[in-house]
Amino acid sequence: MRTQPRPPSTGRSLEHPDRDLIRLEDVLHALSDPMRLRIVCTLAGSEAEQSCSVFDLPVSKSTTTHHFRVLRESGVISQIYRGTAKMNALRRDDLEELFPGLLGSVLAAADRQAARRETAAR
């Protein structure tokens, strides 16, 4: 189903925890930050990988880098370099295998809360 050949990943590699080493506490901690939750929601909204730069976060670039690293090291996302860009993707399958339903309920909860906030603001 992949129609477009993607640029190959470059030599730079990034540390990812093995699936069996992902800890629930770390995942929950990673998701408990508003910026990171926002990143994860955005990532969940599209099937494809997203480069770091498409996220328009109200923090500096170095802080953004920090959040992506926390997400990667906790096992929530995977990252790979493609040229100068760094592509991000949710580790849906690994998380689903380890903690069935967890990611889905967190994403749904985040959506509901966003909707609630919108209603309250009106």
Partner DNA sequence: CGGTTCGTACGATACCCATCGTAGTACGCC
Partner DNA sequence: GGCGTACTACGATGGGTATCGTACGAACCG
**CA-atom Rg of the chain in angstroms:** 15
Q: Measured between alpha carbons, how far is 47 from 54 in angstroms, rounded to an integer?
A: 14
Does position 108 interact with its own copies (CB under 8 A)? The reply is yes
Closest contact distance (angstroms) between CB of 100 and DNA is: 25
Pair 54, 64: CB distance under 8 Å: no
Of residues 28 through 67, those in contact with DNA by CB under 7 A are 29, 33, 35, 51-53, 59-63, 65-67
Does position 7 interact with DNA (CB under 7 A)? The reply is yes
Task: Give the SS3 label for residue 50.
Answer: strand
Does position 13 interact with DNA (CB under 7 A)? The reply is no
CA atoms within 13 A on the CB side of 22: 27
Q: Measured between alpha carbons, how far is 100 from 4 in angstroms, rounded to an integer?
A: 31
Task: Give the SS3 label for residue 2.
Answer: coil
Cβ proximity to its own copies, 31 vs 90, nearer residue: 31
Does position 108 interact with DNA (CB under 7 A)? The reply is no
Report which DSSP code applies to 19.
Answer: G
Cβ proximity to its own copies, 53 vs 63, nearer residue: 63
| Among 52, 85, 89, 102, interactor with its own copies by CB under 8 A | 102
Of residues 56 through 85, those in contact with its own copies by CB under 8 A are none
For DNA, the binding residues (CB under 7 A) are 7, 10-12, 29, 33, 35, 51-53, 59-63, 65-70, 79, 81, 83-86
